[in-house]
Chains A and B, each alone.
Chain A
Amino acid sequence: MSASLMQGNEAVAEGALAAGVRFFGGYPITPSTEIAETMAKLLPKVGGTFIQMEDEIASMGVILGASLAGKKVLTASSGPGISLKQELIGYAAEAEIPAVIVNVQRVGPSTGQPTAPSQGDVMQARWGTHGDHSIIALSPWSVRESFNLTVKAVNLAEKYRTPVILLMDEIVGHLRENVELPTAEELEIFPRRTPKKSRAEGYQPYEPDEDLVPNVANFGEGYRIHVTGLIHDETGFPVGSPKVTENLIRRIHEKISLADDIIEVEEILMDDAEFAVVAFGGTARTAYEAVKACREKGLKVGFLRLVTIFPFADKIIYELAGKVKGIVMAELNFGQLVGEVRRAANGQCPVKLCAKYDMTIFEPEEIIASIEELINEVNGI
């Protein structure tokens, strides 16, 4: 396939279709609307369903119902829409329903700056819904990666029966660049999990498999399962016991924290690096330019890009902090993920925040200045 110009949001829709998504429920909101528009156009061509719902909450509800009825599902939103979706993101975590939620981040809080880029929802992605829950969040830095990570998000949602947040930002969502998309044969697609026992053999919909993930049957397949947002045992029915509560909450955390195929980072120019820049999403594009510029000045600076945001790359950041003299964390907010980096670095080296929250994107010079300040601080200049 030859290269073509494609927008990040369009690449998300293309990735969703390639991953087998056949149901999209949504509500228009800038800067994510192109995803809904593209899905509205393409899904009915492949026998899928697009539905524009009355609000963001209903958009979540409709995809969770469709997921339980056997479809791979996705929704997309931004800003206030993502806040409204939180209620049922929690339902998906509790009832273990595969679903992908795309957040094309814009400036908040509230209506904020609807057309301007931000990375201010990064901790909301982790803790946006109430209660103790696990989550997976992935953040692409290019149009091509928007496609790839949408495929990965759908696969992970299916494999771990969990909501997955695709944490886009307006930078990448609205960017058009040349891409060469992979062919269907080049992609690995994870199919919907299926029951391993019949009802007669004592099938229980929420009995965990070896990987701690239950093989919940789809509706209409004769298993007559019960799905609830209440704490439930392996039968799926609510139980008000401390043991059942503890088991379920631990399991929905551990099915993700013990997995080894979720966390992904990209390291560039790290071999001899004395300092490192950490960034993600659209900001990583500028951070990488800053790192290259530092190298041209003879500074031994490397780059670590977080592709998976949650579960957080604790071990990788810990090892990085043990290797370098200092880390700059660049993010388009007042300082959010820097807290995770500092926690994981565990005091082994200073972690300097390079923050920006004025509705414009970073310029390389701003990140270079931050790196040089850190180097001077560490070297006592």
Chain B
Amino acid sequence: MIERSYETYFRQNRLPHLWCPGCGNGIAMKAIVQAIEKKGWSQDNTVIVSGIGCSSRASGYMDFDTLHTAHGRAIPFATGVKMANPNLNVVVITGDGDCTAIGGNHFIHGCRRNIDLTVILFNNNIYGMTGGQASPMTPLGKKATTAPYGSIDRPFDACKLAEAAGATYVARSTAFHVQHLVKMISDGMDNKGFSFIEALVQCPTAYGRRNKIGEPAKMMAWMRDNAVMKNAWDKLTDDKKIGEKFPIGLFYKAEEETYNESYKHVRELANH
């Protein structure tokens, strides 16, 4: 049973989850609790905050104080939790629509403040909960119910966005690279400040099927075949960065004062 020790981090009476067979969200959720286990964070001292969408349902299954907020608003709520009680570890679970469309402004400002949150974006390239509409991370040309002829909206690279906006830890992994994903998340938890991890997850129902990518296993094989570790990616010449290849790994890390630490100075100045 030792290898399933992570199960104590789930609310067994809330399972099974509502995700479709073959969905990658469960893998990413498990990676988060494995990272928490690795860190040794207490379940009574850790808060999971999520928005709205398939990914954001994860909070309900996790045995911590959990907060399932409104669409796009997880980061402001999480900011409030962390500022009100800096002793709490605060993890945000969000999706590509939740984080980069309706919550896009909150996302960049969370990065800018360097508030000490670990934000994991489950990127399934689509709005799954509502049945397959295009998100800001739907790749060009891919089909969605609201892009029946293929998406013409240029997608966000959420990692570049996070870095440019001021996040102090930025990484990407996939549902195929499970051990790597756990490491990216736990390293993010080690970082004091805004940590952003994009977890590419497969959505066979609303994205894969419509785009004829095939079954869940095929979607994961695609991750295996196209993800390139950052070190190797950096050595590739531009003519090799072709097709659907994309980098995974740690993209950015910096030491900066967190928002909580900065506010301590405000309190000192106010009482001076």
Q: What residues of chain A have their CB less than 8 Å away from a CB belonging to chain B?
A: 23, 25, 41, 44-45, 47, 49, 51, 53-55, 57-71, 73, 87-88, 91, 219-230, 237-238
Q: Is the CB of B63 within 8 A of A65?
A: no
**Could you say which of B44-52, B138-146, B188-196, B231-239 contacts chain A?**
B44-52
A129 to chain B, nearest CB (A): 11
Q: Which residues of A contact B105 (CB under 8 A)?
A: 54-55, 58
Q: Is B1 an interface position by the 8 A CB rule?
A: no
The answer to whether B43 touches A226, judged by C-beta atoms less than 8 angstroms apart, is no
> How far is B82's CA from A69's CA once the two chains are assembled, in angstroms?
8
Partner of A65, one of B84, B108, B266: B84
Q: A62-B77, A222-B44 are in contact. Are A237 and B65 (CB under 8 A)?
A: no
Are B68 and A23 in contact, with the CB atoms below 8 A?
Answer: no
B83 sits at the interface (CB 8 A) = yes
Other than A58-B76, A69-B85, A224-B44, give 18 A-B pairs with Cβ distance below 8 A. A25-B80, A51-B79, A54-B109, A58-B75, A58-B106, A65-B49, A65-B81, A66-B84, A69-B84, A71-B84, A88-B73, A219-B47, A219-B81, A220-B87, A223-B65, A224-B63, A224-B66, A228-B60
Closest 7 CB pairs of A and B: A65-B80, A61-B76, A69-B84, A44-B270, A66-B84, A65-B77, A66-B80
Known interface pairs A45-B271, A224-B44; A68-B81 also in contact (CB < 8 Å): yes
Cα–Cα distance between A51 and B63 once the two chains are bound (Å): 30
- For B67, list chain A residues within 8 Å (CB): 65, 68, 219, 226-228
16 A-B pairs whose Cβ atoms sit less than 8 Å apart in the complex: A23-B80, A44-B270, A61-B76, A61-B77, A62-B76, A66-B83, A67-B84, A73-B80, A88-B70, A91-B69, A219-B65, A220-B45, A220-B47, A221-B44, A229-B68, A238-B60
Within 8 Å of chain A (Cβ to Cβ): is B78?
yes
Contact of A61 among B59, B64, B69, B88 (CB under 8 A): B69
Q: Is the CB of A219 within 8 A of B88?
A: yes
Query: Which residues of chain B come closer than 8 Å to A68, judged between CB atoms?
Result: 67, 77, 80-81
The answer to whether A53 and B47 touch (CB under 8 A), given A58-B106, A66-B81, is no
Question: Footprint of A on B, CB under 8 Å?
Answer: 14, 43-45, 47, 49, 59-60, 63-70, 73, 75-85, 87-88, 105-106, 108-109, 263, 266-267, 269-271
Interface hub of B63, B70, B78, B108 (most chain A Cβ within 10 A) = B70
Cα-based distance from A25 to B64 in the complex (angstroms): 25
Q: With A and B bound together, what is the CA distance between A371 and B83 in angstroms?
A: 53
CB-based contact A65/B79 at 8 Å: yes
Bound CA–CA A98/B129 (angstroms)? 30
Task: Choose among A62, A91, A238 the residue that contacts B79 (Cβ–Cβ < 8 A).
Answer: A62
CB pair A69–B60 under 8 Å, yes or no, is: no
Shortest Cβ distance from residue A71 to the other chain B in the assembled complex, whole angstroms: 5
**Are A65 and B65 also in contact (CB < 8 A) when A49-B84, A220-B45 are?**
no
Given A54-B109, A65-B77, A66-B80, does the pair A226, B47 have CB atoms closer than 8 Å? no
The distance in angstroms between the C-alpha atoms of A196 and B183, with both chains bound, is 40
Closest B-chain residue to A227, C-beta based? B67
Q: Are A226 and B263 in contact (CB under 8 A)?
A: no
Shortest CB-to-CB span from B11 to chain A, Å, is 8
Chain B neighbourhood of A237, CB < 8 A: 14, 60
Residue of A23, A57, A226, A229 with most partner-chain B CB within 10 A: A226
CA distance A71 to B271 in the complex (A): 21
Secondary structure dominating the interface of B: helix
Query: In the complex, what distance in Å separates the CA atom of A220 from the CA atom of B87?
Result: 9
Closest residue of chain A to B106 (Cβ to Cβ) is: A58
Measured CB to CB, the closest approach of chain A to B116, in angstroms, equals: 14
- Pick the contact of B70 from A25, A91, A221 — CB < 8 Å? A91
**Distance in Å: Cβ of B15 to nearest Cβ of chain A:** 12
The reply to whether B80 and A63 contact each other, CB–CB distance below 8 Å, is yes
Closest to B112 in A: A54
Using known A-B contacts A49-B263, A69-B81, determine if residue A228 contacts B68 with beta carbons closer than 8 Å: yes
Q: Provided the pairs A54-B105, A70-B85 are in contact, do residues A220 and B65 lie with their beta carbons within 8 angstroms?
A: yes
B residues less than 8 Å from A219 (CB atoms): 47, 65, 67, 81, 85, 88
Distance (whole angstroms) from the CB of A34 to the closest CB of chain B: 18
Provide the residues of chain A in CB contact with B66, threshold 8 Å. 224-227
Contacts of B69 in A (CB 8 A): 61, 64, 91, 229
Contacts of A58 in B (CB 8 A): 73, 75-76, 79, 105-106, 109
Q: For residue A69, which residues in chain B have a CB less than 8 angstroms away from its CB? A: 47, 80-81, 84-85, 88
A70 to B83, CA, bound (A): 11
Best-buried of B43, B77, B263, B269 by chain A (most CB within 10 Å): B77
Asked whether A226 lies within 8 Å of B80 as measured between CB atoms, the reply is no
Given A54-B106, A65-B49: A44 touches B80 (CB 8 Å cut-off): no
CB of B7 to closest CB in A, whole Å: 15
The minimal Cβ–Cβ distance linking B144 to chain A, given in whole angstroms, is: 25
**One of A51, A60, A64 near B83 (C-beta < 8 A):** A51
- C-alpha spacing A226/B48, complex, angstroms: 9
Known: A54-B105, A62-B79, A69-B81. A41 touches B73 (CB 8 A): no
Q: Are B270 and A61 in contact, with the CB atoms below 8 A?
A: no
Per the bound structure, the CA–CA distance linking A69 and B86 in Å amounts to: 10
